Structure 1
Amino acid sequence: MVRPPGNTRLKSARVAAGYHSQQALADALGVGVRQVRRWESDTPPWPQPEVGQALTRILGQDLESLGFPPPGGAQVDRGRRTVLAATAAAVGLAAVPTQAVAVQPASVAADFENVTRSHRRLYWSVAPATLHPAALSHATLGCALLPETAGQTRQRTAAALAETWLLAGRIEFFDLRDAARAQQTLLRALQAAGEADDPLLGAAVLAHTAFIPGWAGDRDAAVERMVAARTYARRGPASVELLAWLDAVEAECETRCGHTRTALHLIQHAEDVIAEGSEYGSPECPEWLDWFSLVRLAAFKGNTQLKAGHLPQARETLLEVLDALEPSEEKQRTVVLGDLAAVEAAAGEPEAACGYAVRALDQLERTWYAMGMDRVREVRRALVPHQHERCVRELDDRLYGWSTTVSALAR
């Protein structure tokens, strides 16, 4: 017999909040682990008032959103209402009816997936402030559609919805620099991946959540989330690309937290994983994993070499990346140019540093990317000892021109 999935809403929220075991949540609430097991079963009992309040406080959602059917006989039809519908109501979107809903045809999944796929491609060229509301609107549609589907149609719709929330979260974190909002959006993506029973997509979402504490220098929290991401990936089977990307994410977090030696070991492991997969074969790479490649891995490596002070190696790596980037990889190009500028600034070559920084600004005028602008600003701070030189003043003229300044402040 197939084992029931249990209360996936509560499980997803627990993991996203950092409680990676039932025992950890039980300890936080001061209850027995047996009680948590009952809550995560297919028929979770309504918690006692005090415990229920503590549960909603530490997980950030109301009890119905966490998968508990209301007491007093007001049983919610679990096949009709999902955590995603509850999430939509919680954030002020249109309410989803719980009774007499229509049953959507199987074609709805393919239609919804097509728009998700288009948004994925548009991310690389469309301004984030333009694409973000479109992705959120598409997610709202998915929240409305999901309760009206069943079986494989429901699973495919949920997976596409998870990817849409993931895209929105990526824009919020990498482009709009709103980590708090991204955290909540990625939680919705994880819950949708749970509805789809897609552990690889869940691994991708969890790894993205690791960026948030990693950027803030909270190494322990980043490592915990990467442990969860790798756990989900083991349920795959995961492709070598996904496994290597998980190494790269953890390397990025380690670099941000000052552990460059560990980061370089992780990148070496990622390179070995890809080489071994190329030799012996690997499961197919997920279609949605379009933000990673061998070139992107090399870009991670070049940045880590830079932060480790290995300037000749970083210069060589980053120049090779710059040559290998496809014309469509405009956002990544600004980051690489910024890192090359940082290499030259650290090497005491202000003219070369300014040259790369100006090229990055040229690219940013065509395709805005907050991460790229951050790189340029870091370079300018590194050039303070040379700020009276002509090349630096010319960089300032570009960096603080009307169009660049207004664009930066508007975002």
Structure 2
Amino acid sequence: MLEDDRITFRQEVLLPALLAAGVTPEMAHLTVQRPGKQPGRDPKIVEAYATMTAAQRDLYWEMPPALLVDAALAHTRLGVELLDTGANDADGRLLAGSVAESALLSARLAFFDLGQPALAVQAFVIAERTAELADDHGLAAAIAAHHAFIPGFAGQESEAHSYLEAAHAHARYAGGPMLRSWLHCVTAEILARTGQAAASRDRIRQAEDSMTTSGSDPDWLDFFTPDRLPGFAGNAALLAGRNSQAVNRLNQALERIGSRAAKQRSVLLLDLAAAHVPDDPDHALELAVQACDLLESEPYVTAYQRIPGVRRALAGAGRDTRLVERARELPLSLSERG
């Protein structure tokens, strides 16, 4: 029975992920069908795998995403091969949780950094399945909320709502103030993107209130701090057409953001540029060029995807030429995505 579970897991979850990652069909099928000798539930191996997962999480803030995604996918693949899906002991749950974290990192890199949603979806499938095996509600909440961004960015409200509902349901059983606040922030952004401005503002208020709730947050929640909340609030206000409010919140975010968050800084600068276009297009242009300067050394597709909107707004003000020229100097493989 346990071996049947392993075969099903490899065929339905691992194989599509390997193919999406660019592994040749022959090698992917070989990996799935011939896993080789399993090391069992060796606590030393489980601990080593968890340590490597944490190290890659830290590397996210330092390494080029195109390099790290290969390592993260390989680490996820290794974890799946180590995992006996039928096990229900402490080491098994720890390993499953580490695999889920690794798959989540792979998905984040694929979608937010590199703009490869198909690969991200496959990584999310692995993350969701292994978080379930780990019986980790907090991790399951984070995975579901991240997954919601894919349909949310595409304007697919119903599908995004389903993932957000699942995320908030899991969060009732685990997580602390930062996880709760972040979930409300994600929900606010997706609501704003789907034209629900009033509901989005209400979620921002709930995100602020959640900061004062009790509980403890996991180590892997390193992608959100209180300093990030004004950025979400500013983006939600911008999407709702409340430019003055957006400017205030985005300036707060830029003042507070940490030194490791260069990727997010480029996003904030482009959002702030968009907010300034109606009243100060010259300043908006300068902010957009600053963002491009950051993107030269810290490529980030989520920021690149904001450039066309700023460019169109500046074109209406007759000031888009310099931004067009600057964007063309960015790495071609990424700039073409915008």
TM-score (norm 1): 0.74
- In structure 2, do the counterparts of structure 1 residues 96 and 198 end up closer, same or farther at CA, with 3 Å as the change threshold? farther
Letter in 2 for 1:88: L
Please report how far the alpha carbon of residue 283 of structure 1 lies from its aligned counterpart in structure 2 after TM superposition.
1.8
Letter in 2 for 1:385: G
From 169, 187, 200, give the equivalent of 1:263: 200
State whether residues 398 and 404 of structure 1, in contact with CA within 8 Å, keep that contact through their aligned partners in structure 2.
Answer: no
Structure 2 CA distance, aligned partners of 1:99 and 1:369? 38
Cα RMSD for the two superposed structures: 2.3
State whether residues 277 and 314 of structure 2, in contact with CA within 8 Å, keep that contact through their aligned partners in structure 1.
Answer: yes
Please report how far the alpha carbon of residue 373 of structure 1 lies from its aligned counterpart in structure 2 after TM superposition.
1.4
Please report how far the alpha carbon of residue 76 of structure 1 lies from its aligned counterpart in structure 2 after TM superposition.
4.7
Match of 1:123 in 2: 60
Please report how far the alpha carbon of residue 208 of structure 1 lies from its aligned counterpart in structure 2 after TM superposition.
1.4
State whether residues 360 and 376 of structure 1, in contact with CA within 8 Å, keep that contact through their aligned partners in structure 2.
Answer: no
Structure 1 CA distance, aligned partners of 2:240 and 2:296? 30
- In structure 2, do the counterparts of structure 1 residues 368 and 99 end up closer, same or farther at CA, with 3 Å as the change threshold? closer
Q: Does 1:350 align with 2:281?
A: yes
Letter in 1 for 2:180: L
**Structure 1 range deviating more: 241-250 or 141-150:** 141-150
Match of 1:105 in 2: 42
Match of 1:81 in 2: 6
Match of 2:118 in 1: 180
Q: Once superposed, which parts of structure 1, at least 4 consecutive aligned residues long, lie more than 4 Å away? A: 96-100
**Structure 1 range deviating more: 325-334 or 87-96:** 87-96
Q: Does 1:161 align with 2:86?
A: no
Structure 2 CA distance, aligned partners of 1:120 and 1:130? 13
Structure 2 CA distance, aligned partners of 1:194 and 1:290? 21
Report Cα offsets for 1:167-207 as digits up to 9, x if no partner. 11111211222223322221110001011111111111111
- In structure 2, do the counterparts of structure 1 residues 171 and 83 end up closer, same or farther at CA, with 3 Å as the change threshold? farther
Please report how far the alpha carbon of residue 226 of structure 1 lies from its aligned counterpart in structure 2 after TM superposition.
1.2
State whether residues 7 and 33 of structure 2, in contact with CA within 8 Å, keep that contact through their aligned partners in structure 1.
Answer: no
Letter in 1 for 2:305: D
From 115, 134, 146, give the equivalent of 2:83: 146
Structure 2 CA distance, aligned partners of 1:260 and 1:150? 44
Please report how far the alpha carbon of residue 98 of structure 1 lies from its aligned counterpart in structure 2 after TM superposition.
7.7
State whether residues 399 and 405 of structure 1, in contact with CA within 8 Å, keep that contact through their aligned partners in structure 2.
Answer: no
Please report how far the alpha carbon of residue 232 of structure 1 lies from its aligned counterpart in structure 2 after TM superposition.
1.4
Match of 2:258 in 1: 326
Report Cα offsets for 1:379-409 as digits up to 9, x if no partner. 011111233x4xx4332321222x4445524
* Structure whose residues are more often helix by fraction: 2
Report SS of the residue matched to 1:326: coil
TM-score (norm 2): 0.89
Match of 1:244 in 2: 181
Q: Does 1:376 align with 2:307?
A: yes
From 229, 243, 249, give the equivalent of 1:317: 249
1:50-89 equivalent positions in 2, closer than 5 A: 75-77=1-3, 81=6, 84-86=9-11, 87-89=13-15
Please report how far the alpha carbon of residue 290 of structure 1 lies from its aligned counterpart in structure 2 after TM superposition.
0.9
Letter in 1 for 2:327: L
Structure 1 CA distance, aligned partners of 2:333 and 2:39? 48
Q: Does 1:366 align with 2:297?
A: yes
Identity rate, percent: 33
State whether residues 267 and 303 of structure 2, in contact with CA within 8 Å, keep that contact through their aligned partners in structure 1.
Answer: yes
Structure 2 CA distance, aligned partners of 1:100 and 1:116? 22
Structure 2 CA distance, aligned partners of 1:308 and 1:103? 53
Match of 2:51 in 1: 114
Structure 1 CA distance, aligned partners of 2:52 and 2:35? 26
Please report how far the alpha carbon of residue 161 of structure 1 lies from its aligned counterpart in structure 2 after TM superposition.
0.3
**Structure 1 range deviating more: 163-172 or 94-103:** 94-103
Structure 2 CA distance, aligned partners of 1:76 and 1:160? 20
Letter in 2 for 1:195: L
Report Cα offsets for 1:50-91 as digits up to 9, x if no partner. xxxxxxxxxxxxxxxxxxxxxxxxx5546x837644433454
Match of 1:340 in 2: 272
Please report how far the alpha carbon of residue 294 of structure 1 lies from its aligned counterpart in structure 2 after TM superposition.
1.3
- In structure 2, do the counterparts of structure 1 residues 328 and 365 end up closer, same or farther at CA, with 3 Å as the change threshold? same
Match of 1:304 in 2: 236
Please report how far the alpha carbon of residue 104 of structure 1 lies from its aligned counterpart in structure 2 after TM superposition.
4.3
Letter in 2 for 1:230: H
State whether residues 341 and 353 of structure 1, in contact with CA within 8 Å, keep that contact through their aligned partners in structure 2.
Answer: yes
Structure 2 CA distance, aligned partners of 1:217 and 1:287? 32
- In structure 2, do the counterparts of structure 1 residues 173 and 242 end up closer, same or farther at CA, with 3 Å as the change threshold? same
State whether residues 82 and 147 of structure 1, in contact with CA within 8 Å, keep that contact through their aligned partners in structure 2.
Answer: no
Q: Does 1:398 align with 2:326?
A: yes
State whether residues 304 and 337 of structure 2, in contact with CA within 8 Å, keep that contact through their aligned partners in structure 1.
Answer: no
Structure 2 CA distance, aligned partners of 1:82 and 1:321? 47
Number of aligned residues: 325
Q: Which ranges of structure 2 fall in alignment gaps of 5 or more residues? A: 19-27
Structure 1 CA distance, aligned partners of 2:172 and 2:260? 32
Match of 2:72 in 1: 135
Structure 2 CA distance, aligned partners of 1:77 and 1:257? 44
- In structure 2, do the counterparts of structure 1 residues 83 and 302 end up closer, same or farther at CA, with 3 Å as the change threshold? farther
Structure 2 CA distance, aligned partners of 1:151 and 1:270? 35
State whether residues 124 and 147 of structure 2, in contact with CA within 8 Å, keep that contact through their aligned partners in structure 1.
Answer: yes
Report SS of the residue matched to 2:305: helix
